[in-house]
Amino acid sequence: MLAIRIVGGLGNQLFGYALYRYLLAHGKRAKLDIGFYRHQNMPDIDKRDYYLEKYFNVNADYLNLMEKAEIYCYRKIGRYDELKYFDKGKGYEADVLNVNRGVIEGYWSTFLFAEEQREGLLRTLSLENKYEDDPLLREIKTVNSVSIHVRRGDYVKLGIDLPRSYYDEAMEYMQRKICNPRFYCFSNDIRYCKKIYGKDITFIERDDALFDLCAMSACKYNIVANSTFSAWAAWLNNNDNKIVLHPSKWYPGKESKLDERIWPEKWVCL
């Protein structure tokens, strides 16, 4: 049996879930381990909740008490490495299907697993009916809407927030490619965004992560941050003619193994 250790915020949880579905589709026996959310101890990272069951009908299997106890015993006797299979920070390991027993750790930040099962995942993760009567969502669907995601918060503390120049270039690109684009800004620091990005943008101030995911995915076009949250919103965007812009580096000014795998090929790198 494979235990997939789910960690991080909603975007990272969705990557873990996509891997889980991929393994099941290939005949593997797999379950989710969500113990991370009971024992978070990372002072520089925003605390997260487990959202998949709250927001979606994922219908997943989870580790039972006996299975958790077995993993705990391996940790206590110093043999946990015998169980652990890790993505080595790359978000992808080609031989993951060769593993039959153990704990799968890491973020697995690639859409390669999701693309193979896109139709099934779109049904499971559908947000169509959650805000169908919302006037803002109806507006977004009727104009040439472009989502802009600006992640700050813990990213500012860690020094990995994207520079303004990225967003300026991205908006200029969209204005060249799209007739009468309407920009909608989503952020965990809207006050900052209002100071920086001017008046020709609609700033979304719902403080509702699910609405933000739904609204960004409903936009016809997307400008994503170095964030798995907005990356998933863009992936869930089912517009056949969508344009998705992403930063060239996951960590500004630094090389990262994530740059090799996380972004779908059709998305535009800036």
pLDDT at position 162: 95
pLDDT at position 41: 61
Provide block-wise average pLDDT over 10 residues at a time, the chain (270 residues): 88 94 92 82 67 90 80 66 58 72 84 93 87 92 97 90 95 96 96 87 93 96 97 96 95 77 92
pLDDT at position 148: 98
Q: What is the largest CA-CA distance in the chain?
A: 63
| pTM attached to this predicted model | 0.91
**What residue spans of 201-248 are helical by DSSP H?**
209-218, 228-236
pLDDT at position 102: 80
Catalogue all structural domains in the chain, each as residue range(s) with its CATH number: 2-124 (no CATH), 135-269 (3.40.50.11350)
pLDDT at position 197: 84
Exposed, middle or buried: residue 121 (CB in 10 Å: 0-12, 13-18, 19+)? buried
Q: What gap in Å lies between CA 83 and CA 73, rounded to an integer? A: 11
